[in-house]
Amino acid sequence: MSTIRRFSPAADGGYAWDAVERLKYKDEGSAPFRDITRQVLFAQPDHASELRYFEIAPGGYSTLERHQHTHAVLILRGHGTVRIGPDTHPIGERDLVTVDPLVWHQFEAAADSPLGFLCLVARERDRPQLPSNEQRTELGG
């Protein structure tokens, strides 16, 4: 059904929408991460892609990982950094980030700001890989 779902921020200021569930980023203990939520904004039956919204609290970060599927990211709220391969870049509102296949990446909110972003992925996608201790050392992480 055609719908309008209103933007409706949470009491803590976190971005949220009517009729959109705020989900866990991942199961606890499945991979390293901190203070991050996930919302599925669009998963249309005729689209083979999904648009999700992730929000990382100040000081939080996503998992350092890589996978075959690509990411297309638009920063919607706040600022922080993105690690892409060996490099770390500052990112802010409305910047666009693409992450290529099998490139290590990690998003991190600034200490004093949340980092909220849209992420477009193919609906059918491979599972993320985590770095070995050796790879992590090479990445300086």
Q: In the chain, how long is the greatest CA-to-CA distance? A: 50
Does 24 participate in catalysis according to the annotation? no
Region 51-110 residues binding its own copies, contact defined as CB under 8 A: 51, 68-70, 72, 74, 76, 82, 84-85, 89, 91-101, 103, 105
| Min dist. Cβ of residue 42 to its own copies (A) | 4
Spell out the long-range contacts of 39-47 with Cβ–Cβ below 8 A and sequence spacing 24 or more.
Answer: 41/17, 41/118, 43/123, 47/123
Among 12, 46, 112, 134, binds its own copies (CB under 8 A): 46
Question: How many CA atoms are closer than 13 Å to the CA of 26, on its beta-carbon side?
Answer: 14
Please give the torsion angle defined by the CA atoms of residues 84, 30, 25 and 22, in that order, rounded to the nearest 10 degrees: 180
Q: Are 79 and 17 in contact (CB under 8 A)?
A: no
Least separation in angstroms between residue 5's CB and its own copies is 4
Which position among 119, 120, 121, 126 bears the catalytic label? 119
Q: Is 129 in the site for its own copies (CB under 8 A)?
A: no
Q: Which residues bind its own copies (CB under 8 A)?
A: 1-7, 15, 17, 20, 41-42, 44-49, 51, 68-70, 72, 74, 76, 82, 84-85, 89, 91-101, 103, 105, 118, 120-122
Residues with catalytic function: 119
